[in-house]
Amino acid sequence: MSLVEQRAEGIHVVRFVSADRIAVDDVEFRQSFLLLPEQSFPDHWPDGVASLTIAHLDRVLERQPELILLGSGMRQHFPAPAILGHVLSKRVGLEVMDNGAAARTYNLLAAEGRRVATLFLF
């Protein structure tokens, strides 16, 4: 599904989401990746929620987001309660949604200037 036509100045914008790829600006991702408004991190992320660990989320938390969006694939899948609790104990919000919803939410929050980190899992 195509998400936006215009590119917000100075931030990455998710343009397209499907089951096997996500387009950010003019770059297509076919593996899990982390997206922040100013940069992306395509390396060394789990293939799905079942493989997600606290160490992965600590890498996200190092970027000091005010909110983490977890895109769990084409359907919403929640990680283990210990993982959710770990992020919340750091006083950072964590929202779990499918990749399409995560992309739409990311675009809105990034355009508002919010410090959002979105981890898209395939």
pLDDT tens digits, residue range 21-37? 999 999 999 999 999 99
pLDDT along the chain (122 residues), means of 10: 57 97 97 97 95 97 98 97 96 98 98 97 96
Classify domain 14-120 at the CATH superfamily level: MTH938-like (3.40.1230.10)
Mean of the per-residue pLDDT values of the chain: 94
E strands along 30-110, which residues? 33-36, 39-41, 67-71, 93-97
- pTM for this predicted structure: 0.91
Q: Where are the domains of the chain?
A: 14-120
Which pLDDT belongs to residue 10?
87
Q: What are phi and psi of 101, to 5 degrees?
A: -65, -40
